[in-house]
Amino acid sequence: MTRSIAFASLKGGVGKTTVALNCAFAFARRGARTLLVDTDLQGAIGMSLDGVSDRPGLAANLARGGPPLEGLVKTRLPELCLLPMGPVDALDEDRFAINAREANIVGRILEHSQRDFDLVLFDTPAGLGGMSRIALEEVDSVIAVAQCEPLALRAMPRLLELLARLRDIGSACSLLGVVGTMSSFRDPVLLASLEELWSLYRDQVFDTAVPRDSTFLQASRAGVPLGLLSRRPPAVSAVFDKLVAEIEERLGSDAGGEDDGPIRLVD
Ligand SMILES: Nc1ncnc2c1ncn2[C@@H]1O[C@H](COP(=O)(O)OP(=O)(O)O)[C@@H](O)[C@H]1O
Ligand SMILES: [Mg+2]
């Protein structure tokens, strides 16, 4: 069964796109056939990756009314594909989410992913309306992205409330977990925010938090996931290997694709 996860937060600039992109890369490296879909009209994934921003994607598929996965971008990893947003006509922005809902574009992306993908990850824009709301209604799991700073933490209850309300009205989406981002043990305010995140959301918080690290800016400057920043990836890229292992555990055993079990070290 193909699993779907949306990365969401009410507040912008908290690291959603960074987490979605690097988790997609880490999932693919673990062997899960992964599709990363950009639902942000600003084309956040395209902006973050060299060679992707001008390609057509979800927006063009919506405008044409054709197959929802046209323009799929293959990557260096055979298990990882991207569906960027692609250029959005300025005049279409206003009604974009309305058209997307009418055309059921997110639902159709999921239907068409069943054969070729184990996981479909959605990067969403800031805010809980528009494309975020549509993605949240269609996926089976949501990962709340919480920057470890006071204002971002104050915005979290709104997302959780929306998820509860969506479930009330029949949506399947459940909160898979909360991931803290841009944390630091060295800055007392950031450390206090990380502690607050733990004390407020306890078991829902992933053990792995994404530290604040200037390497992220280098990676976005180069337009690559952290794991491709150099032949010997920076230490912080290993955070996403840990995070996706935790996510897989929460998803259950069928998330990684094929059957799994111990592998003999010596034959
Ligand atoms: N852990 C981190 N440490 C340092 N900078 C980060 C980190 N995560 C994201 N950033 C930077 O913060 C900015 C916003 O991140 P982004 O992932 O685009 O957030 P969002 O998608 O929530 O708007 C980007 O410039 C990104 O490179
Ligand atoms: Mg973003």
Q: What is the CATH number of the domain that holds 26?
A: 3.40.50.300
Identify whether the C-beta of residue 178 lies closer than 8 Å to the C-beta of residue 143.
yes
Identify whether the C-beta of residue 61 lies closer than 8 Å to the C-beta of residue 72.
no
Binned average pLDDT, 10 residues per bin, the chain of 267 residues: 96 97 98 98 94 94 96 97 95 95 98 98 97 97 96 93 95 96 94 94 96 96 96 96 98 68 90
Which protein residue has the closest C-alpha to ligand 1 atom 27? 217
Is residue 267 a part of any domain in this protein? no
Q: Is the Cβ atom of 44 under 6 angstroms away from ligand 1?
A: yes
Q: Is the Cβ atom of 182 under 6 angstroms away from ligand 1?
A: yes
Is residue 22 a part of any domain in this protein? yes
**Domains of the chain: total:** 1
Is residue 256 a part of any domain in this protein? no
> What pLDDT score was predicted for residue 260?
75
Under DSSP, the state recorded for 140 is S
Q: Cβ contacts of residue 120 below 8 Å, gap of 6+?
A: 2, 3, 4, 5, 34, 35, 37, 109, 110, 113, 139
- Please tell me the distance between residue 147's alpha carbon and the centre of ligand 1 in angstroms: 9
- CA–CA dist 173, 167 (Å, integer): 7
Is residue 157 a part of any domain in this protein? yes
* H/E run at residue 144: strand 141-147
Q: Is the Cβ atom of 220 under 6 angstroms away from ligand 1?
A: yes
- Please tell me the distance between residue 45's alpha carbon and the centre of ligand 2 in angstroms: 7
Is residue 258 a part of any domain in this protein? no
Is residue 265 a part of any domain in this protein? no
Is residue 262 a part of any domain in this protein? no
Residue 104 exposed, middle or buried by CB count within 10 Å (0-12, 13-18, 19+): middle
- Please tell me the distance between residue 220's alpha carbon and the centre of ligand 2 in angstroms: 12
> What pLDDT score was predicted for residue 114?
97
Which protein residue has the closest C-alpha to ligand 1 atom 13? 13
- Please tell me the distance between residue 264's alpha carbon and the centre of ligand 2 in angstroms: 41
Range of the domain at 22: 3-249
Is residue 7 a part of any domain in this protein? yes
Which protein residue has the closest C-alpha to ligand 1 atom 14? 13
> What pLDDT score was predicted for residue 261?
84
Ligand 1 pocket test, candidate residues 7, 16, 17, 18, most atoms within 8 A of CB = 18
Query: What is the amino acid identity at position 256?
Result: G
Q: Is the Cβ atom of 38 under 6 angstroms away from ligand 1?
A: no
List helix spans (H) across 49-202.
58-64, 96-102, 105-113, 130-138, 150-168, 188-201
Angle at alpha carbon of residue 140, lines to 135 and 143, rounded to 5°:
75
